[in-house]
Structure 1
């Protein structure tokens, strides 16, 4: 049903049947309603900070590259974004999505943050973690940075989140929940540099040797969903397709979190539109 709704919204029409529209009313217990249990293994939808719908909100699940939300938050809170960072052999050898860094190059922390946030580049993410955390154990080169991540998670009250690596690789000791990700997303959005980075469709970064690297955002919503402001995508074998989506229209903001969501693009669009529809028909 949600995919049909997304298609209907995309063509500027609403389904005629009122029964297809969800209500934002809370459950009898006062919490959000699990109105769409099939969209993801766990999900959370809120409008203006008020939860509307959620399912398995506290289940501990793999997070894929949504881990980078904490990585960039820790990085910006450490400051000195214009400092140069060395690209280590480990960073250059990172697997998965990359921007193409080479061992021995130097890149500013700001550019590494952009590449990690916009392109979800694991080589940039690892170089950023190396620069800020420093190695405390040759067998665990990002251990110090991960300790910072877990300390920040504790400070935010993320009771169902634990990090084992900065970039989101599958690990039994790395997990989060949809509810925790909503809290983390709000903290990220409160940082202007990160809120701006999340909205970028394209980036160009330069190494100290003058090599210019270009990349497009992994977030398809930025290209077609009215008011889309990011925030982060993620995909791994264990986590499946994940998404934290933020959309702003007028004075309203909708935040949607989906973990292990087979149709994350269609379903996120439908959930966002329904959330705005519940706020005011004029915001469609």
Structure 2
């Protein structure tokens, strides 16, 4: 305490020191949330809150799916051009997914892009079956790799993160995996920071809101199921310094990005009060917590939610989750814990801006194509995405428009229809337009029996068992 005596002689600094010490002594998060910030090159821990608390990974599992797949590519066991086939098991996965029919073929390259940007659960299974032979076989590869990397708190049951018994991780282990991707697969790292993909006419932005908005953002992946809350592994690089932030259990898709931006800001801005805190060591040395994973189902998907939460519909959350100044952005504790830095634009304001303009990466079905063949494949996929006509008067209008495609009236009708399709896609993100039946699109006058068969829901994946109440929730 004698070290502080010179400061205590100055009355104007007494209250600053008192609040700073209190900020160090008290935990930063009262809600169920895990936060971790590390240096990518050294693994040095800059902040850790509940970093070794067991957690449901949700779609963060796809980072390991990508790591195992790209390792197989690097070792020559498969290539990015290898064609994989969508099985009935893959097609039956819960959304978010591409919705391809069984028998559809897709390259490893395109499957990876769809999985990491759209968080497509069906593409994760396609990769798993193509590389590991089966979901169980690939899960064994995932677990073997996790042990090799030192992820002692992680176990995998499936490649996409949909709820299943025993599928657990921690913020610590996710940071270790992110470091491994940077270290071991630098030539394939572009997969984890693609701003958006285009399939047919549909453009899907990356669910990671930091990409294209936060300066220097360059990875990695989001995740969500009801039990886990909103998860994010993010990274950013400035002036040659790369940081990795992990957020588990945030209240919304927007808030997980805000939390990650706050962590990264602290890391890049330095911390004037760091000398008051003991060294946290490296990420591998963080001590595991012996506990059960928190189940956030009630908070995320309970009756208090205005609409069912999902990773694709992340902005339809309670306003208090994203804009409250007491939710981590403007509190006195956060101000002093950040080292008395000058006022900076709030992460929520930064992330509310449109993403930087970029050309979507085109993805498609079938073999690798370039030039005219690629353009033809994109057009073919666009045709497959055409929705089946609706019953009643709207059906007659659609048929009429199709017959007069060269007229000005038809062009106006198509524009309205495209706008309606995009509005429907935004309102119902869990129903990807490509999941529509090709035969239904080609035969508007299908028989009622055919329509009933097309509307029959796909079977649930066998691995989705715990938490049972989350089995239909997207792992985005």
**Where on the TM-score scale, by shorter chain, does this alignment land: which range?**
0.7 to 0.9
Alpha-carbon displacement from aligned partner over 1:156-176 (angstroms, at most 9, x marks no partner):
111100001110011230000
Contiguous gaps of at least 5 residues in structure 2: 1-14, 74-78, 273-340, 345-476
Is the Cα contact below 8 Å between 1:22 and 1:278 reproduced in 2? Answer: no
1:94 aligned onto 2:86: no
1: distance between equivalents of 2:48 and 2:202? 39
Query: In 2, are the aligned partners of 1:100 and 1:213 still within 8 Å (CA)?
Result: no
Which among 234, 237, 242 is matched to residue 245 of structure 1?
234
Deviations 1:212-235 (A, max 9, x none): 875321111113111111210000
User: Could you say which structure has the higher helix fraction?
Assistant: 2
Report the Cα distance in structure 2 between the residues aligned to 1:130 and 1:173, rounded to whole angstroms. 20
CA contact (8 A) 2:57 2:161 kept: yes
Q: Is the 8 A contact 1:44 1:53 kept in 2?
A: yes
Larger Rg: 2
Q: Deviations over 1:152-209 (max 9, x none)?
A: 001111110000111001123000011111100111123135420111111246xxxx
Give the alignment partner of residue 186 of structure 2, picking from 187, 192, 196. Answer: 192
Q: Secondary structure at the match of 2:167?
A: coil
Q: Residues 198-213 of structure 1: matches in 2 within 5 Å? A: 198-204=192-198
Q: Which residue of 1 aligns with 2:122?
A: 123
Provide the residue aligned with 1:166 in structure 2. 159
* Contact 2:38-2:46 within 8 A present in 1 as well: yes
Q: In structure 2, the residue corresponding to 1:222 is in which secondary structure? A: coil
Q: 1:168 to 1:248 in 2, by over 3 A?
A: same
Q: Contact 1:72–1:194 (CA<8 Å) still a contact in 2?
A: no
Match of 1:177 in 2: 170
Q: Distance in 2 between matches of 1:127 and 1:56?
A: 34
Hey, what's the Cα distance between the residues in 2 that align with 1:34 and 1:178? 20
Does residue 1:254 correspond to 2:243, yes or no? yes
Q: Secondary structure at the match of 2:211?
A: helix
How far did residue 278 of structure 1 move?
0.7
For the residue of structure 2 that corresponds to 1:223, the secondary structure is coil
Pairing partner for 2:221 from 223, 232, 255 = 232
Q: How much does 1:40 deviate? A: 5.2
| 2:84–2:130 Cα contact (<8 Å) kept | yes
Which structure has the highest strand share of the two?
1
Gaps of 5+ in 1: 1-16, 28-32, 136-141, 206-210
Relative to structure 1, is the Cα distance of residues 104 and 35 closer, same or farther in structure 2, using a 3 angstrom cutoff? same
1:117 Cα deviation (Å)? 1.2
1:6-155 superposed matches below 5 A: 36-38=28-30, 41-48=33-40, 49-79=43-73, 80-135=79-134, 142-155=135-148
| Equivalent residue pairs, number | 247
Q: Quote the Cα distance in structure 2 between the aligned partners of 1:233 and 1:104.
A: 28
Report SS of the residue matched to 1:110: helix
Aligned pair partner of 1:215 in 187, 204, 214: 204
Residues 212-269 of structure 1 show CA distances to partners (whole Å, capped at 9, x for unaligned) of 8753211111131111112100000111100001011111111111111222122211
- Distance in 2, matches of 1:45 and 1:178, equals 9
SS at match of 2:130: helix
Q: 8 Å contact 1:68–1:168 — kept in the other structure?
A: yes
Cα contact 2:220–2:234 (8 A) shared by 1: yes
CA–CA distance in structure 2, aligned partners of residues 174 and 95 of structure 1: 17
Indicate the larger mover: 150-159 or 90-99: 90-99
